[in-house]
Amino acid sequence: MNKKILDVGGEGHLSDLMIGQKAVVLALHNDNKALRRRLLDMGITKGVIVQVKKKAPMGDPVDIFLRGYELCIRETETKNIDIRVVG
């Protein structure tokens, strides 16, 4: 399965990013209210800059850098985060 590669300015989901790419968070969807709250608490809010730093050997979960620390989340979550690539 070929994933589309996003260029700077391109919009998509956090799960589309490759290692090293930076993006700004546009929206956070999640049906699970408690989980959504947790992601907000961890700093995934509108306008925050995130960068994919590491991926687990099987591509999931991913380790993203934001607000000065590294957060690991699964693809099921990153798929629900809308972003625009900034670098």
Partner 1 sequence: MKIALVGNQNSGKTTLFNLLTGSNQKIGNWPGVTIERKIGIIRNTKYELVDLPGIYSLSPYTVEEEISRKYVFEEKPDLIINIIDSTAIERSLYLTTQLLELDTRVIIALNMADIVEKKGIFIDVNKLSRLLNTTVIKISALKNTGIEHLISHIRRNEILDNVHNRIYAALIEDAIEAVKITMNHSRFVAIKMLEEDVMFTKYQNVTVKAKIKEIQERYDSDVEEVIANQRYNYIEELKENVVITKTVKKSTTDKLDKIFLNKWLAIPIFAIIMTTIYMLAVGVVGNFTVDFVDTNIGLFGQWLGVRLEAINTSTWLISLIVDGIVAGVGAVLNFIPQLMILFLLIAVLEVTGYMARIAFFLDKIFRKIGLSGKSLIPFIVGSGCSVPGIMACRTIEDEEERKMTIFLTPFIPCSAKLPIIIVFSSFFFEKNQGFIAASLYFLAIIVIVISALILKKILFKGKTSAYISELPEYKLPSAKYIFRDVFDKTWSFMKRAGSIILLCSIIVWFMLSFSWTLEYGVDVEQSILAGIGNALAWIFYPIIGEYSWAATVSAIQGLVAKEQVISSMAIIAGFGEDVTTGTLIFGSSIFAFFTPLSAYTFMMFNLFSAPCFGAIGAMRRELGSTKQMLKAIGFQTGLALIFSAFVFGVGTLIGVIA
**Which residues of this protein are in contact with partner 1, per CB under 8 A?**
28, 32, 34-43, 45-48, 53-54, 56-61, 63, 67-74, 76-77
Beta carbons of 20 and 85 less than 8 angstroms apart: no
Q: For partner 1, give the closer residue by CB, 9 or 47.
A: 47
**Minimum distance between the CB of residue 33 and partner 1, rounded to whole angstroms?**
8
**Minimum distance between the CB of residue 6 and partner 1, rounded to whole angstroms?**
21
**Minimum distance between the CB of residue 65 and partner 1, rounded to whole angstroms?**
10
Sign (positive or negative) of CA dihedral 48, 49, 53, 59? positive
